[in-house]
Amino acid sequence: MATIAKRRGKWRVQIRRNGHALSKTFIRKMDAEDWAREAELAVDRQLNPAIVRLSRKNTFGSLIDLHIDDLHTVGKPLRRSKDHTLRALRKRLGLTPLTHLTRDKLIQYGRERALEGAGPATLAVDISFIGTILKHAAAVHGVAVDVEAVNAARLGLRRLGLVGQPDERDRRPTEEELERLFGHFDRTERPAFPMTRLVQFAIATGMRQDEIFRVTWDTLDARRRTIMVPDRKDPRKKAGNDQRVPLLSATGYDAYQLLLDQRDLRLNGPRCFPCNGRSVGSAFRRACKDLQIIDLRFHDLRHEATSRLFEAGLTIEQVPLVTGHKDWKTLKRYTQLRPEGLHAVLQRKTQG
């Protein structure tokens, strides 16, 4: 008989039946009860009780939950982008029975998303994650799913031009746009929300938005003028990618001095910039809208930083020590050199 008890806000199930001992924790009591019934039924039928059984509805949403549970079990929680995509998929396709997740259904999903404004790259990510969820369920839990339906749908959507590679962005802010942004931020800035300094620090370091808000004072090496960026993005390794990066002044902004100015604020807490990343992103978009600066994103500052580092004369081997790029193909995509910038590069080489 299953025992269900609430502990620290969650529901824990324990089952001892026919020599088997199982336990699992759920956020909702209803999920705990469903799992207990199905686990006991699996034992009675002499099936493998270690396999977590799905909801009786056998929906795509149940496979998403199963995938997330498995990742947490092995210590691999979802990153922000994957979590966002899976939430959206659960909302749109979560109630779809597995038997209805056909090629036609997925192509219909793609058409609807395209009409809503989803681009080929966004839709490609959606289809890829759908395939990942189905393959995981089939490989790890032996769930009977039609993985080939995803492959056929991807091919069909590609033929329709609805799935494809992202367009390479080449947007860099102009000096005039940056000055307007700084003036706007300085007029409305709060001490704990230093948007001008944040934008300048992003250009000085090439850090991604979320990386800026993870750096901490205890990793700052004042003598070597470096700081640790924890858990940098790496397609080959999902976690543990800490990188010590130099705080340079090569881009027109002095990263080390910007941190000293930030420390002078005497803000409490371990993080150098104790701000909410989403709030900073919203403030940046709002400022661009107010100033009628078209098609500029906070992430474009990383492109700007990479390009300025090359324009300052750093080599292909040196720039990734700052930006964290793992290969030339990706680094090249983030580099948009301006022709006029070559004059300064040649001048520095001549003087050297």
User: In this predicted model, what pLDDT tens digit does every residue of 178-195 receive, in sequence order?
Assistant: 999 999 999 876 766 799
Query: Is residue 220 domain-shared with residue 312, that is, in the same domain?
Result: yes
- When pLDDT is averaged across residues 263-287 and rounded to a whole number, the result is 88
pLDDT in the model for residue 54 = 44
> Could you tell me if 70 and 143 lie in one domain?
yes
The reported pLDDT for the residue numbered 233 is 77
Distance of alpha carbon 325 from the chain centroid:
15
Residues 341, 233 share a domain: yes
Residue 133 pLDDT greater than 90, yes or no: yes
**Domain range for 89:** 56-167
Tell which of 167, 185, 204 closes a domain. Answer: 167
Q: Does residue 263 have a pLDDT over 70?
A: yes
pLDDT at 213: 93
Q: Do the strands 3-7 and 10-17 form a parallel or antiparallel pair, or are they unpaired?
A: antiparallel
pLDDT tier for residue 286 given thresholds of 50, 70 and 90: very high
pLDDT at 342 (0 to 100): 63
Separation of alpha carbons 351 and 39, rounded Å: 75
Per-residue confidence at 156, pLDDT binned at 50, 70, 90?
very high
Higher pLDDT, 145 or 335: 145
Evaluate if residue 52 carries a pLDDT over 50. Answer: no
The answer, as to whether pTM is greater than 0.85, is no
Instruction: Tell whether 313 and 204 lie within a shared domain.
Output: yes
12-38 per-position pLDDT tens digit: 888 877 777 778 787 777 777 877 777
CA 312: distance to chain centroid?
29
Domain count, the chain: 3
Same-domain pairing of 247 and 153 = no
**What is the token pair recorded at 286?**
């709002």
Residue 324 and residue 252 share a domain = yes
Check whether residue 316 and residue 286 sit in a common domain. Answer: yes
Q: Are residues 199 and 295 in the same domain?
A: yes
| Assigned token pair, 195 | 């948007």
Kindly report which listed range (168-172, 216-220, 297-301) carries the lowest average pLDDT score: 168-172
Domain termination site, one of 14, 36, 53:
53
**What is the band of 216 on the pLDDT scale with cuts at 50, 70, 90?**
very high
In this prediction, residues 270-291 reach a mean pLDDT of 91
The predicted pLDDT at position 51 comes to 47
Name the 3-class secondary structure at 17. Answer: strand
Give the separation between CA 126 and CA 86, rounded to whole angstroms.
8
Q: Which residue has the higher pLDDT, 155 or 77?
A: 155
- Indicate the average pLDDT of the chain: 85
Residue 57, pLDDT above cutoff 60: no
Of residues 132 and 335, more confidently modeled: 132
- Please list, in sequence order, all residues whose beta carbon lies within 8 angstroms of the beta carbon of residue 161, skipping any fewer than 6 positions away: 120
Residue 107 has pLDDT above 60, yes or no: yes
Say which residue, 220 or 332, is predicted with more confidence.
220
Residue 170 vs residue 27, higher pLDDT: 170
CATH code of the domain covering residue 286: 1.10.443.10
Confidence category of residue 55, pLDDT binned at 50, 70, 90? very low
Mean pLDDT of 318-342: 76
Whole-angstrom Cα distance, residue 264 to residue 239? 32
Q: 3-class DSSP state for residue 270?
A: coil
Judged against a pLDDT cut of 60, whether residue 47 lies above it is answered with: no
What is the mean predicted confidence (pLDDT) over 100-119? 93
Q: How far apart are CA 144 and CA 37, in angstroms?
A: 21
Residues 232 and 316 grouped into a single domain:
yes
Say which residue the tokens 């004059």 belong to.
343
| Statement to judge: residues 73 and 129 lie in one domain | yes
Tell whether the model's pLDDT for residue 56 goes beyond 50: no
- Total count of residues recorded for the chain: 352
**Residue where a domain terminates, one of 151, 167, 183:** 167
Q: Are residues 220 and 346 in the same domain?
A: yes
348, pLDDT greater than 70 = no
Does the pLDDT at position 109 exceed 80? yes
Task: Please check the confidence at residue 132 and state whether its pLDDT lies above 50.
Answer: yes
Q: For residue 275, name the pLDDT band (cuts at 50, 70, 90).
A: confident
Whether the pLDDT of residue 53 is over 60: the answer is no
> Which of the residue ranges 30-34, 84-88, 322-326 would you say has the lowest mean pLDDT?
30-34
Q: Are residues 311 and 220 in the same domain?
A: yes
Q: Is residue 49 pLDDT above 60, yes or no?
A: no
